[in-house]
């Protein structure tokens, strides 16, 4: 009989690629993880891991077992959800990891709505960039993520996660007021190829979206400055340090002194925001009301 707790450890090792990182995510010691994996190999009668550089990778047998692990762990999440529903009443804490603008746009309104419709649900908010929030959900540090699609993000058919689309918004061009394109009605992205750019740190989903949009326009942006704070990005543009693409919602209420904001002509960078939970947990009586509240908050958004 395969112990499902060991399947969770196998999945963590597959996600993090090292025993040490998986142990840290699971709040276990590396030796405990290694012992559990050895026991799992004994249970299955197959070698499941092999060394790869400084890390590990799954063998063919390990990949087969991982596919079943996704299904088993999702079914256990569903079982917990049904038992919680049977116990009756939605009362408890839900931890939500979300990026700053997502908190302002949909999570804060959702929390406000839940205080009236489901006062027994306490939402605990953790600020996390889109590339941080999904691993937090998979590792059990958060129950739900409000995240952004980016290259390298788990795909929509990833068996580990259940996703709910929330909203999509364009990135607008933020230009110094003296830029040659400042008087344009719309900005063609390729026309910014020769400009200095203000971007984001490596790993930030916005950086990935912007780089992909520029690649599709036929150039690599010359990133001279970087900041993950949109106010800092706009301030740098305002003193002529470069141009930037900023999600439209992030510009609301911001001091745009020294800049002009223009929509991008044609296909442009788009931030697609979604909520994600571990597969099988989407109908948990604590999580379902939060997902529904997020969807209602997002339905009032516009990309105009």
Whether residue 204 is found in the same domain as residue 255 = yes
Burial of 204 (0-12, 13-18, 19+ CB in 10 A): buried
Helices 30-44 and 4-16, axial angle in degrees (round to 10): 120
Whether residue 210 is found in the same domain as residue 258 = yes
Please check whether residue 225 lies inside any domain of the structure. Answer: yes
pLDDT for residue 223: 94
Please check whether residue 121 lies inside any domain of the structure. Answer: yes
CB-based burial, 233-251: b 16+ in 10 Å, e otherwise: bbbbbbeebbbbbbbbbbb
Q: Are 8 and 138 in contact (CB under 8 A)?
A: no
Whether residue 63 is found in the same domain as residue 120 = no
Q: Indicate left, alpha or beta for 261 from its phi (over 0: left) and psi (-120 to 50: alpha).
A: beta
- Measured between alpha carbons, how far is 174 from 150 in angstroms, rounded to an integer? 21
Please check whether residue 217 lies inside any domain of the structure. Answer: yes
Whether residue 161 is found in the same domain as residue 66 = no
Beta strands 196-199 and 222-226 are parallel
Whether residue 179 is found in the same domain as residue 214 = yes
Beta strands 144-148 and 270-278 are antiparallel
Whether residue 190 is found in the same domain as residue 209 = yes
Whether residue 189 is found in the same domain as residue 218 = yes
CATH number of the structural domain spanning residue 192: 3.40.190.10
SS3 at position 151: coil
pLDDT for residue 304: 42
Beta bridge partners of 246: 172
pLDDT for residue 83: 79
Provide the residue range defining the domain that includes 178.
Answer: 168-271
- Measured between alpha carbons, how far is 188 from 180 in angstroms, rounded to an integer? 12
To 5 degrees, how large is the angle CA 169–CA 172–CA 178?
A: 170
For each successive 10 residues of the chain (304 residues), what is the average pLDDT? 88 91 90 91 90 88 91 86 70 92 94 93 90 91 92 84 94 95 91 94 86 91 94 96 94 93 86 94 93 93 55
Among 52, 82, 112, give the residue marking a domain's end.
Answer: 82
- Measured between alpha carbons, how far is 296 from 298 in angstroms, rounded to an integer? 5
- Measured between alpha carbons, how far is 208 from 4 in angstroms, rounded to an integer? 36
Whether residue 102 is found in the same domain as residue 145 = yes
Please check whether residue 221 lies inside any domain of the structure. Answer: yes
Please check whether residue 304 lies inside any domain of the structure. Answer: no
Tokens matching residue 203: 């790993």
Please check whether residue 235 lies inside any domain of the structure. Answer: yes
Whether residue 143 is found in the same domain as residue 292 = yes
- Measured between alpha carbons, how far is 247 from 173 in angstroms, rounded to an integer? 9
Please check whether residue 48 lies inside any domain of the structure. Answer: yes
Whether residue 226 is found in the same domain as residue 150 = no
Tally of domains within the chain? 3
CATH number of the structural domain spanning residue 63: 1.10.10.10
Whether residue 161 is found in the same domain as residue 175 = no
């Amino acid at each position: 009989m395969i112990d499902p707790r060991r399947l969770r450890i196998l999945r963590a090792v597959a996600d993090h690629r090292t025993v040490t990182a998986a142990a840290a995510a699971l709040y276990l010691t590396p030796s405990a993880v290694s012992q559990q994996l050895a026991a799992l190999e004994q249970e299955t009668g197959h070698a499941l891991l092999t060394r790869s550089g400084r890390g590990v990778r799954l063998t063919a047998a390990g990949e087969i077992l991982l596919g079943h692990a996704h299904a088993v762990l999702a079914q256990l999440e569903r079982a917990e959800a049904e038992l919680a529903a049977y116990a009756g009443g939605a009362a408890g804490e839900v931890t939500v990891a979300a990026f700053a603008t997502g908190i302002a746009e949909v999570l804060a309104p959702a929390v406000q709505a839940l205080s009236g419709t489901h006062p027994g649900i306490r939402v605990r908010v953790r600020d996390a960039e889109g590339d941080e929030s999904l691993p937090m959900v998979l590792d059990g540090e958060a129950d739900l993520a409000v995240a952004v699609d980016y290259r390298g993000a788990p795909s929509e058919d990833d068996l580990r996660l259940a996703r709910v689309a929330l909203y999509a918004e364009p990135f607008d061009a933020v230009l110094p007021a003296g830029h040659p394109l400042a008087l344009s009605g719309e900005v063609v992205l390729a026309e910014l190829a020769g400009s200095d750019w203000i971007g984001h740190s490596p790993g930030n989903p916005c950086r990935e979206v912007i780089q992909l949009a520029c690649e599709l326009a036929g150039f690599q942006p010359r990133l001279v400055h970087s900041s993950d704070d949109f106010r800092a990005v706009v301030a740098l543009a305002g003193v002529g340090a470069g141009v930037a693409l900023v999600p439209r919602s992030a510009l609301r209420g911001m001091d745009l002194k020294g800049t002009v904001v223009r929509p991008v002509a044609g296909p442009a960078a788009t931030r697609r925001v979604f909520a994600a939970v571990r597969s099988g947990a989407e109908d948990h009586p604590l999580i379902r009301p939060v997902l529904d509240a997020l969807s209602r908050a997002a339905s009032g958004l516009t990309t105009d």
